[in-house]
C-alpha cells in the first residue's frame, strides 16, 4: 500500500523567510501528486497539483513544488512567506487501483509565520 | 464558499445517542467521500460513493453508517460511538474517480464531533 510522509509537523518562520516542506511517498507506479492547504477555520483546498510534464509546478499564492521521481519526493516551496501563509499543509498522492483513483494523505505540516 | 456544505459544524453527543452528519455538494460531481481527521494522524478515508454506489469501505466500524441517496447528498449516521471517535469529519467530492483520474478533491468545512 502506498504511504505519504511529511517529516516536519510544525514549522515556525519569520515573514520573508524561505519555505520548504518535505513530502515523500512510497509507491513504485504512476502517481498524481497534490498539495492541499487548510487556513485556520477554513476548509481544505487545493494549492497545486502534478500529473505529468514539467516536474516543477506552480500553484496559487506564489507556491511551487518539484517532483523528483528518483527521490519519490514532492517538496513544497515558497521563496518568501507572509503572515497570511499560516496554515496546515497536506501532501497527497493518488494512484489508480482497481479502476479507481485512490488518495492517500500525509499527516500534515503546521506552518506558523511570525510577523 | 466551497461548493461542499456540511452540517452541523459542531456536534456533541453521548455514547448512547444517535445522530447524523449531512453533506451536500453543488459542484455537479459524481463521487463523494467521508474522511476522518484526527490530530497528528493522516486523513483517514472512511467511505467512497461513486454515482450513489458505495465503492469503498475502509474497514470502518459498523457504528458509522453512510447513506448516499443521490450524487449530491451524503449522510453519515452515528450510533453508540466511543470517545475515541471524537474528530473532525470531512466530506469531499470529485469528478468520477473511475474516468477522471486527475480530479482533485473538494472539501467541506467539516463537522467537529465530540463524544462524551
Tens digit of each residue's pLDDT (9 = 90 or more) over B37-60: 998 788 899 999 988 888 777 789
Q: How far apart are CA A32 and CA A63, in angstroms?
A: 18
| pLDDT (mean) for A19-23 | 97
pLDDT of A17: 97
Percent of chain A with pLDDT over 70: 97
Q: What is the dihedral of CA A89, A45, A54, A72, to 10 degrees?
A: 40
**Considering chain B, what is the average pLDDT of its residues?**
90
Please give the residue of chain B at the shortest CA–CA distance from A91. B42
Which is more confidently placed, A95 or B29? B29
Q: Which of A23, A103, A107, A109 has the most B C-beta neighbours within 10 Å, making it the best mutation to test the interface with B?
A: A103
Q: Which of A101, A104, A107 sits opposite B101 (nearest CB)?
A: A101
Percent of chain B with pLDDT over 70: 94
CB atoms B109 and A90 under 8 Å: no
CB atoms B101 and A90 under 8 Å: no
- The predicted-structure confidence for B48-91, as pLDDT tens digits, reads as follows 998 888 877 778 999 999 999 999 999 999 999 999 999 999 99
Please give the residue of chain A at the shortest CA–CA distance from B1. A43
Q: How far apart are CA B114 and CA B29, in angstroms?
A: 30
**Is residue B79 within a helix (H) or strand (E), and if so which, with residue range?**
strand B73-79
A contacts of B42 (beta carbons < 8 Å): 4, 104-108
**And the C-alpha cell for B106?**
473538494
Contact at 8 Å (CB) between B107 and B1?
no
Q: What are the DSSP calls for B11-74, one per residue?
A: EEE-TT-EEEEEEEE-S--SEEEEEEE-TTSPPEEEEEEETTEEEEE-S--TTEEEEEEETTEE
The SS3 assignment for B77 reads strand
Rounded to an integer, what is the distance from CA B88 to the centroid of its chain? 10
Please give the residue of chain A at the shortest CA–CA distance from B36. A105
Please give the residue of chain B at the shortest CA–CA distance from A30. B101
Q: How far is A68 from chain B (nearest CA, A)?
A: 19
pLDDT of B1: 60
- The predicted-structure confidence for A70-111, as pLDDT tens digits, reads as follows 999 999 999 999 999 999 999 999 887 776 778 899 999 999
Q: How far is A64 from chain B (nearest CA, A)?
A: 17
CB atoms B107 and A44 under 8 Å: yes
Residues of A with CB under 8 A from a CB of B: 4, 9, 32, 34, 36, 42-46, 49, 51, 90, 92, 94, 96, 99-101, 103-108
Amino acid at each position: 500500500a502506498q504511504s505519504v510522509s511529511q517529516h516536519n509537523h510544525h514549522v515556525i518562520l519569520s515573514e520573508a523567510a524561505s519555505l520548504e516542506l518535505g513530502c515523500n511517498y512510497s509507491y513504485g507506479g504512476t502517481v498524481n501528486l497534490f498539495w492541499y492547504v487548510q487556513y485556520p477555520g477554513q476548509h481544505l483546498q487545493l494549492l497545486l497539483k502534478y500529473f505529468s510534464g514539467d516536474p516543477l509546478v506552480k500553484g496559487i499564492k506564489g507556491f511551487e513544488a518539484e517532483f523528483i521521481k528518483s527521490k519519490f519526493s514532492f517538496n513544497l516551496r515558497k521563496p518568501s512567506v507572509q503572515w497570511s501563509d499560516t496554515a496546515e499543509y497536506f501532501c497527497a498522492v493518488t494512484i489508480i487501483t482497481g479502476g479507481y483513483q485512490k488518495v492517500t494523505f500525509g499527516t500534515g505540516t503546521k506552518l506558523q509565520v511570525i510577523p | 464558499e466551497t461548493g461542499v456544505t456540511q452540517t452541523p459544524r459542531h456536534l456533541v453527543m453521548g455514547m448512547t445517542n444517535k445522530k447524523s452528519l449531512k453533506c451536500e455538494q453543488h459542484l455537479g460531481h459524481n463521487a463523494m467521500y467521508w474522511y476522518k481527521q484526527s490530530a497528528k494522524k493522516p486523513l483517514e478515508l472512511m467511505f467512497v460513493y461513486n454515482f450513489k454506489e458505495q465503492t469503498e469501505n475502509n474497514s470502518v466500524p459498523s457504528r458509522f453508517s453512510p447513506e448516499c441517496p443521490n450524487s449530491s447528498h451524503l449522510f453519515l449516521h452515528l450510533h453508540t460511538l466511543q470517545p475515541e471517535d471524537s474528530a473532525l469529519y470531512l466530506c469531499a467530492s470529485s469528478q468520477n474517480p473511475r474516468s477522471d483520474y486527475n480530479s482533485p478533491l473538494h472539501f467541506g468545512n467539516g463537522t467537529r464531533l465530540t463524544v462524551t
